[in-house]
Amino acid sequence: MHIAFLVAPEGVEQVELTEPWQAAMDAGHTPRLVSTRPGRVQAFDHLDKADTFEVDQSVAEATADAYDALVLPGGVANPDFLRMDADAVSFAREFFRTGKPVAAICHALWLLVEADVVRGRTLTSWPSLQTDIRNAGGTWVDERVQICHDGPNTLVTSRKPGDLKAFGEAFLAEFAKTPQS
């Protein structure tokens, strides 16, 4: 399975990128780092700079058709930058339009709010996003992981780095149910 990990050039919470990435690799999947710019992305450990990671593809060149699923890591700045990029918003929205599974953790739900795909769905996130999610028509719950099946769409959401193990197990189980392209 080819899984797109969409991040901004700066601001992704490193552990929310690296742990799901490793879980996907351990399960035999092929993760690819997609960003709004080519080159390297700067990850963070909370507010401190951490490692950098090589981008595999720019979102302007990427299509949802080339991937079987999408993972959206969090970090406060990461989704804030992404939701201001029309190509990133369109890329995320396309996974919902085509019925491909999406997993998002922490603040990453801001991108889904911007893409207008949370309406009618029950999900979780970092607690400070609950008003944004409700205002966008979603139902927010305080759970480690929330799985929402909506027709052909599956959305797996999680709250924070402390939930990463449960998040990884949930999105891998849900992604395994999806036919690969």
Query: pLDDT confidence of 107, banded at 50, 70, 90?
Result: very high
Q: What are the pLDDT digits (tens) for 127-142?
A: 999 999 999 999 999 9
Q: Is the pLDDT of residue 100 over 70?
A: yes
Residue 181 lies in a domain: no
Q: What are the pLDDT digits (tens) for 54-75?
A: 999 999 999 999 999 999 999 9
CATH value at residue 61: 3.40.50.880
Residue 122 lies in a domain: yes
Return the minimum-mean-pLDDT range out of 42-51, 117-126, 146-155.
146-155
Burial of 129 from C-beta contacts in 10 A (0-12 / 13-18 / 19+): buried
Q: Which domain holds residue 124?
A: 2-176
Per-residue confidence (pLDDT) for residue 157, from 0 to 100: 98
Residue 106 lies in a domain: yes
- List Cβ neighbours of 165 (8 Å cut-off, separation of 6 or more): none
Q: How many domains is the chain partitioned into structurally?
A: 1
Per-residue confidence (pLDDT) for residue 134, from 0 to 100: 98
Q: Is the pLDDT of residue 37 over 70?
A: yes
Residue 56 lies in a domain: yes
Residue 113 lies in a domain: yes
Query: What tokens were used for 19?
Result: 């742990």
- The span from the first CA to the last CA of the chain, in angstroms, equals 8
- Are the C-beta atoms of 33 and 9 separated by less than 8 Å? no
Per-residue confidence (pLDDT) for residue 151, from 0 to 100: 80
Residue 75 lies in a domain: yes
Residue 62 lies in a domain: yes
Please list the active-site residues: 106
**Number of neighbours of residue 136 by Cβ within 10 angstroms:** 20
pTM: 0.97
Query: What tokens were used for 148?
Result: 């929402």
Residue 71 lies in a domain: yes
Query: pLDDT confidence of 150, banded at 50, 70, 90?
Result: confident
- Are the C-beta atoms of 73 and 125 separated by less than 8 Å? no
Q: Is the pLDDT of residue 179 over 80?
A: no
Per-residue confidence (pLDDT) for residue 178, from 0 to 100: 83
Per-residue confidence (pLDDT) for residue 3, from 0 to 100: 98
Per-residue confidence (pLDDT) for residue 181, from 0 to 100: 64
Nearest CA among 116, 115, 129 for reference residue 157: 129
Query: pLDDT confidence of 28, banded at 50, 70, 90?
Result: very high
